[in-house]
Amino acid sequence: MVIPTQRMTGLCWDFGMAGLRSSFIITGPNLQWVLHLRQVSGPLASKPQPIMRIALGVLLFPASKLRLPLVPTLDGCLHRDDWLDQQAQTSASVPTSLRSCAVESQPGIFFPPGTGAEFSLQDIPRPHEEPWAFSLDLRLQLAAGSGHLLALGSPENPSWLSLQLQDQKVVLSSVSGPGLGLPLVLGITLQLKLTVSRVVLSQGTKKEILALPPMGPGSLLNLWAQTQGRLFLGALPGEASSASFCLDGLWAQGQRLDVDRALSRSQDIWAHSCPQSPGNGTDTTH
């Protein structure tokens, strides 16, 4: 076991342990992070097969075992890493979709094709009770392809109410029948206002209204009455989606949602940055 300490000095991460040092050059803000590891559980030389693992961007154990809450997510790219002046060997368990450092980025949350996140409706702001009302706001900076942007449902029926991207249009639909759409304008907030009987989809001065089925066991309100109610972002489970998009923000009842706090999410989502164009986001070579 080692105890790390770190200090900020430039554009490099230096790891030191028992006289050994390793340098990691990273892109990003013009800062240098130096991490010093101090051996506290006995010398490694006394071990039959001394093994030390250093993980970047993830933990080596479940986050639930931490004594203090932590969201162990690093959104960045590794430009070069050396250990004892040699190119470091990456574990076979590392995802193959490492981000390219050559991609210019901007603020936001990027969903590459086929990626998604899932929130429990019990973990996000509750609807107003009298009269019943719920709102979702999202602002897109980039969008390409076709597939789900978001959906309200359950694991068994994930698209009770859904908003999809289709040929640069956003299409709102429910299980009750055909949907309706609006031309997508990037950079302008899309708003969904839900009531007991209808959903209003608006962007700027344009608006469409979708009628909802009558109250009953399969109604929209029932999603909040059960523990399995979900808000899905991006591709639904099992969906072969080609949609990629950058969210500049997502709000439920006026409160911003943090994708790092999602019940589950795809590992390839960029939680804190977006490429300058959707095509660049698919270039994840390292």
Distance CA 110, CA 172 (A): 21
Output the pLDDT for position 69.
Answer: 60
Output the pLDDT for position 163.
Answer: 95
pLDDT per residue rounded down to tens, the chain (286 residues) = 444 444 434 433 444 444 444 444 444 444 444 455 554 455 555 666 656 666 665 667 776 776 666 555 555 555 555 555 555 555 555 554 555 565 677 888 999 999 999 999 999 999 998 899 999 999 999 999 999 999 999 998 888 899 999 988 999 998 877 789 999 999 999 999 999 889 999 999 999 999 887 755 457 788 888 889 999 999 999 898 999 999 999 999 999 999 988 999 998 898 888 887 766 554 443 2
Predicted TM-score (pTM) of this structure: 0.70
3-state helix, strand, coil in the chain (%, to 5): 5, 45, 50
Distance CA 145, CA 244 (A): 6
Output the pLDDT for position 274.
Answer: 87
Distance CA 238, CA 148 (A): 12
* Residue 245 CB neighbour total at 10 angstroms: 27
Output the pLDDT for position 12.
Answer: 39
Rg (alpha carbons) of the chain, rounded to whole number: 23
* Token code pair at residue 257: 């949602």
Beta bridge partners of 110: 246, 270
